[in-house]
Amino acid sequence: MRVTRRGDLSHPEVAADFDISVESVRRWVRQADIDDGVVDGQTTSEQNELVQLRRDKRRLEMENEILRRAAAYFAAGSLPK
């Protein structure tokens, strides 16, 4: 991203040099600006934390469901007949 920030090469020239799409270069530059605090937005570390928190939430929800089912199963077995 330093190459594009210095102004030596344009986004299309950088994309051609690295054999990637121009939009990828634009996204990387935009994200680098956010990470550096140049513009407002969600930083890479915040995005990574959000992904991890969502995974943890999903795992905890699954564990709770398993525990609910286990409790219901054992409660059904201890009912008076």
Instruction: Name the domain boundary from 25, 41, 57.
Output: 41
- Tell me how far apart the alpha carbons of residues 24 and 8 are, in angstroms, rounded to a whole number: 18
Statement: the pTM of the whole predicted model exceeds 0.85: no
Q: Which two tokens stand for residue 48?
A: 């990574």
47 with 75, same domain: the answer is yes
My answer on whether 37 and 48 are in the same domain is no
Among 27, 46, 44, 22, residue whose Cα is nearest residue 35: 44
Q: Residue 30's domain spans which residues?
A: 1-41
Q: Which residue, chain included where needed, has tokens 């409660």? A: 75
Using DSSP's 3-state secondary structure scheme, residue 66 falls into: helix
Q: What is the pLDDT of residues 18-76, one digit of tens each?
A: 999 999 999 999 999 999 999 999 999 999 999 999 999 999 999 999 999 999 999 98
